[in-house]
Amino acid sequence: MNITDLNSIPSSDIDYYDDELILNPYPFYKKMRDFAPAVWLSLYDVWFVSRYEDVTAGLQNPEVFCSGKGITLNPDVNAGMSGNMVMQDAPSHTSMRKVFMKPLLPQGLKEVRDQIKASADAHIDKLVKRKHFDAVDDLALFLPMNIVTNLIGIDEEGKENMLGWAAGVFNAFGHPNNARTKSGMLDVKALMNYVQQKVTRDMLVKDGWGDRLFKAADEGKITQEQATFMMFDYMIPSLDTTINATSNAIWLFSENPEQWDLLRKNPSLLPNAINEILRMEAPIRSFVRYLAKDFQIGGITLKEGSRAFLSYASASLDERKFENPEKFDITRKNASEHVGFGMGPHSCPGSNLARLEIRSLLESLLARVERFECGEPVRVPHNTLRGIKSLPVTVH
C-alpha cells in the first residue's frame, strides 16, 4: 500500500475492494488510523475516515455528512434506492423513521419477544442434540429468515429469494467498476422487479409490519411509495447483519473459551458481550456520506461535493477509544460505545430486534453448551458486509 502526503492531502492508492484487504482488513484500518484522520483513496476518489472521534462526529452531523445523495459509491444504487429510508435526509427521513420504528421499540417488541425466545430455544435444543452443525446455515440464519419475514408478512417467493437479493444489494453498494458490484446490480434489479410486479398490499399478512406501513400511509403519515420502500427496509438490512453477528459470536467464543466460561458463570454479562461482539466485528464495514459543505477534520479540508467512507469497523477498533482493541473482553467497560449499529439520526432502528435475536440464541446455548470447537471459518469477500459464509462447529 502506498500512502503519501500529496500537497498536504494524505492519500493512498490502496484498493478498498481488494479481496485480500476485505478478508483481513485490520492492518488497513490501523494504517489509515495511524496515518491521518482522513485519507484520500485515489482509486475511487473518496475519503476514508477511520478514527472513532471523526466517524462519530460525521454520523452525528447529517447537515454536512448527508445521506440524501446516496450512501454508496454506485450512482445507479444511489438513484435507484433513493426512496429507502437510509438514503433520506430530514424532513422525509424523520417522518418515515417515526412510522418505521414503532414495532421495533421495546414496547412494540414485547409482542414478539416470547415467540422469538421460544423459537430460539426449540431450534437450539434440536441443534445441540446433533452435536455437529454449521454455525451459519444451521444456526445464524434461523431467526432472521423465519421470524422477521413472517412478521412482515411477505409471500413464499419473497422469502425464498430475499437472502440472496439482500447480499447482492449490499454488494451493489461498491464502486461501479467492481465485479461484485456488477453482479449485485442483477439482484437489485430482481428485487425491484419483484417489488413492482408482485408486491401488493393484499398479499401482506393482515396487521403484519408491512400492512401497518400501508395503514400509516392511509393516515397520511407517509406516502404509499414510501410504505413500499420501507417494507424492504425491514428486510434487506435485517438479514446478513444479524446472521453475521451471530456467527461471529460463535467464532469469537470458540477462539476465546475463557470468555464463554465467564458468561456461563455470569449470564448478566450477555448484553455487554453482544456489544463486544459487534465492536470486534462490525457486520457493516462502512457506508458513504456526501459532503454538503466543506468540513475540516484535523486540519484536512474535505471539500463540499466529495464523498467520504465512515468506517464503523475501524472506529470500533480505534486504540484511541478502546484499550487493547483487538482483545475480546466481554467485561469491557465501554463496549456499548461501539459503532456497529452506527450513531446519530440513521443509527440502526433494528438494533433492539437484532439484540433480542442474538440474545435469545446465546441464552439457549448458554444453558446447553460448555464449549464450542470450530473448524476453519469460510469467508467470502463482500463489498459492504463482514461475516462468515460457513463455520463447522462441534458443541460439547
Residues that bind ligand HEM (CB under 6 A): 59, 67, 71, 85-86, 97, 104, 233-234, 237-238, 241-242, 245, 283-284, 287, 312, 340-342, 346-350, 353-354
Min dist. Cβ of residue 8 to ligand HEM (A)? 29
- Smaller CB distance to ligand HEM: residue 12 or 216? 216
- Smaller CB distance to ligand HEM: residue 108 or 381? 108
Min dist. Cβ of residue 47 to ligand HEM (A)? 16
Answer yes or no: are the C-beta atoms of 214 and 223 closer than 8 Å.
no
Question: What string of DSSP letters covers 281-305?
Answer: S-SB-EEEEEESS-EEETTEEEPTT
What does DSSP say about strands 38-41 and 9-12: parallel, antiparallel, or unpaired?
parallel
- Smaller CB distance to ligand HEM: residue 170 or 194? 170
Min dist. Cβ of residue 13 to ligand HEM (A)? 27
Angle between helices 224-235 and 209-218 (to 10 degrees): 160
Measured at CB, which residue is nearest to ligand HEM? Answer: 350
What does DSSP say about strands 372-374 and 392-395: parallel, antiparallel, or unpaired?
antiparallel
Residue 4 CB contacts under 8 Å (≥ 6 apart), including other chains: 10, 11, 12
Cα(first)–Cα(last) distance of the chain, in Å? 43
Set of cell numbers at residue 138: 444451521
Min dist. Cβ of residue 4 to ligand HEM (A)? 30
Angle between helices 179-197 and 156-171 (to 10 degrees): 150
Task: Fill in the amino acid letter for 115.
Answer: Q
CB atoms within 10 A of CB 27: 10
Answer yes or no: are the C-beta atoms of 151 and 112 closer than 8 Å.
yes
- Smaller CB distance to ligand HEM: residue 349 or 377? 349
Min dist. Cβ of residue 1 to ligand HEM (A)? 25
Angle between helices 224-235 and 92-101 (to 10 degrees): 60
What does DSSP say about strands 65-66 and 372-374: parallel, antiparallel, or unpaired?
unpaired
- Smaller CB distance to ligand HEM: residue 35 or 231? 231
Q: What does the alpha-carbon distance between residue 54 and residue 50 come to, in Å, rounded to a whole number?
A: 7
DSSP state of 239: S
Min dist. Cβ of residue 67 to ligand HEM (A)? 6
Residue 327 CB contacts under 8 Å (≥ 6 apart), including other chains: none
- Smaller CB distance to ligand HEM: residue 237 or 377? 237
Residue 372 CB contacts under 8 Å (≥ 6 apart), including other chains: 250, 253, 254, 257, 260, 393, 394, 395, 396
- Smaller CB distance to ligand HEM: residue 59 or 300? 59
Min dist. Cβ of residue 230 to ligand HEM (A)? 8
- Smaller CB distance to ligand HEM: residue 234 or 372? 234
Residue 242 CB contacts under 8 Å (≥ 6 apart), including other chains: 140, 143, 144, 283, 354, 357, 358
Min dist. Cβ of residue 75 to ligand HEM (A)? 18
- Smaller CB distance to ligand HEM: residue 10 or 25? 25
CA angle 291/293/297 to nearest 5° reads 75
Min dist. Cβ of residue 56 to ligand HEM (A)? 11
Min dist. Cβ of residue 143 to ligand HEM (A)? 10
DSSP state of 242: H
- Smaller CB distance to ligand HEM: residue 58 or 168? 58
Min dist. Cβ of residue 2 to ligand HEM (A)? 29
- Smaller CB distance to ligand HEM: residue 53 or 375? 53
